[in-house]
Structure 1
Amino acid sequence: MDLRRLQVFAKVYEQRSFSRAAEEVLLSQPTVSGHIKTLEEDLGVSLFDRLGREIMPTRAAELLYDYAKRILIMVEEARRAVDAYLGRLSGDLLVGGSTIPGQYILPLYIGLFRQAHPDVRINLTIADTELIAGKVLAGELELGVVGAALDDDRLQFSALWNDELALAVWPDHPLAGKVAGIGDLLRWPLILREAGSGTRMSLAASLRKAGVGFDDLTVAAQMGSTTAVIQAVRAKVGMGVLSRRALADDVAAGRLALVEIKVLDLRRRFHLVMRKRRTHSPAAQAFIALLKEQRAVAE
């Protein structure tokens, strides 16, 4: 059974499309179809039902996919072990970041890392905390940096840098520049990040300590990105609680104003997330060392 065909099969299975899989593996669509046909002939089973322009995996494909993923991960780990033995730092490094570390922190450290290791190509995926943790767990990313630690004993979370959330409003909002209490937070419409966001998780934890839940709030909207929340606050849809890092430019330019909430502790930590018992590539080990080194400098 050819490893390249297994890789192509896994991509077709995941994408549910020959054309999208071809883009992922940098092959033509006829070549991808040929790989699947040869694999089906080798195994003596049909792996995909062709339904017009759509394809559906058969039961045999579902069984094969579980083994294919394990085989491909083991092959990659074997390559990494040899690279580590030889002291090589090259190849692709798949890193994830939730919104704030992904947009405002990791690009800087990727730049520092690339200066020291120019032969390593880093692919940064940005999504919410739950999605990044899920991709790390599935082996799609070697590591991630997220805004909250999840309760999953298959994952290891290590605290990195401090961050603080802040309540933002438009400049002529009645609370702009003032100190507010919980009553003010409950009275005015609020925009939340989506479920799965580290920012939302941190806000929920802070509210719980003050005896408040999301059901007590007047939620004007829920949005899937920090940028969307900022634009909605500027449009006077509602107030927003976001990282000070994300708000800094708009506050400095006078487009937003901050409100201090005296009874809420909005401090949090960003966390490095890795899958337990996974063998990391030399590049990942070096990048992790850089992140922890920078944490020590920041402290």
Structure 2
Amino acid sequence: MIDQRYTTFLILTKTKSYTKTAKKLFITQPAVTQQVKSLEKELQLKLVEYHQPHLKITERGEKLASFVNNITNQQEEFINYLKNPDLQKEIVFGATKSVAIFMVPKVIEEFSHDFDKINCTVTNTERILSMIDDGKLDFAILEGNFNKQVYSYYPMQRERFVCVANADNELTKMAKIDINQLLNQTLILRENGSGTRCILYNWLKSLNLSFSDFNQVISFNEPTGIIELIKKNVGISFMYESLALQEIANGNLQEIKLSGMDIFRTMNLVYSRNNYFANYFNHLFCD
């Protein structure tokens, strides 16, 4: 369906090499060069800058590649839809780890009434967005930051971002504390690429602070594992309130009330830009 020149250009943007692109397409290197030049001539746009041995995709070239990638990923799904418009039996989506605990079980329960196959991938924000880019996910439920110019999205629910500690931690007994009173604590963090880690990093940065200002820092990529560490009084952490509500209700955890910390984030349904199935995805959650 898509002009071969666009496919060739898309692969070139990923390999950054005419030789590697030619090998992937089983054509000659001059053929790759000719197709790209033909595309540039037709569009009257400079897509590639080549200063041996470095190849650089121009800003407009990157935008074109993103559009072509989006169309390519939707092509097979769209054809299947045309063949069987009433048979939407399988859905593949992603979710970040925090969301997977307090939102996804209910989502899967609702999907189970309409789909024969449900596949949910749980990983961090960075990886989820990469999978959307590669066409491996229909959509994702994200709590982390993402480029709203690159992806389409539908707001789902707002979540409060809080600091939590073991209920025996003396700081939980105080009406309000300053962030500097927290720095002698052990901070338990999510891994690099996590949305919650990014939120905390940016908030601390606005206060001219960093993770290294804490007494000790522990990184752990599982939210449930972090909660268990807090219950053992190993340290304190920052997370969405819904993630800690059950343990707070059980009396195991308590919020540390920090001055100047009033952070809310929207959980978003996220999918590729200009997705043909956007209305369908939104419809799944707005009823």
Instruction: Please confirm whether the aligned pair reaches a TM-score higher than 0.5, indicating the same fold.
Output: yes
SS at match of 1:212: coil
Mapping for residues 67-216 of structure 1, pairs under 5 Å: 74-83=75-84, 86=85, 88-115=86-113, 117=114, 119-151=115-147, 153-178=149-174, 179-216=176-213
Question: Is 1:63 paired with 2:24?
Answer: yes
When residues 254 and 71 of structure 1 are mapped into structure 2, their CA distance, relative to the original with a 3 A threshold, is closer
Q: CA deviation at 1:224?
A: 0.3
- Measured after TM superposition, the shift of residue 287 of structure 1 is 4.0
| Aligned match for 1:247, one of 232, 244, 248 | 244
Pair 1:156–1:212, CA change in 2 (3 A):
farther
Contact 2:165 2:236 (C-alpha < 8 Å) held by counterparts: yes
Tell me the distance in 1 between the aligned counterparts of 2:23 and 2:127. 23
User: Which aligned runs of 4 or more in structure 1 are off by greater than 6 angstroms?
Assistant: 59-62, 69-72
- Secondary structure of 1:201's aligned partner: helix
C-alpha distance 72-251 of structure 1, shift in aligned 2 (>3 A): closer
Gaps of 5+ in 2: 1-19, 27-68
Contact 1:193 1:223 in 2 (8 A): yes
Secondary structure, aligned partner of 1:175: helix
DSSP 3-state at the match of 1:176: helix
Q: Which residue of 2 aligns with 1:19?
A: none
1:252-291 → structure 2 map (5 Å cutoff): 252-280=249-277, 285-291=279-285
Is the 1:206–1:265 contact (alpha carbons within 8 Å) kept by the matching residues of 2? Answer: no
Q: Give a deviation string over 1:174-215, Cα, whole Å, max 9, x none.
A: 212322211112222211111111111222233233343334
The answer on whether the counterparts of 1:192 and 1:219 sit within 8 Å (CA) in structure 2 is no
**Percent identity, aligned pairs only?**
22
- Looking at structure 2, the residues matched to 75 and 89 of structure 1 have their Cα atoms a distance apart, in angstroms, of 15
* CA distance in structure 2 between the partners assigned to 1:127 and 1:71 by the alignment: 24
TM-score, scaled relative to structure 2: 0.69
- TM-score when normalising by structure 1: 0.66
Alpha-carbon deviations, 1:118-139, whole Å to 9, x = none? x442211111111111111111
What residue number does 1:228 align with?
225
What SS does the aligned partner of 2:268 have?
strand
What SS does the corresponding residue of 2:189 show, helix, strand or coil? strand
Q: Give the secondary-structure state (helix, strand or coil) at the position aligned to 2:170.
A: coil
Aligned to 2:38: none
What RMSD over aligned residues (CA atoms) do the two structures have, in Å?
Answer: 2.7
Change (3 A) 1:72 1:180: closer
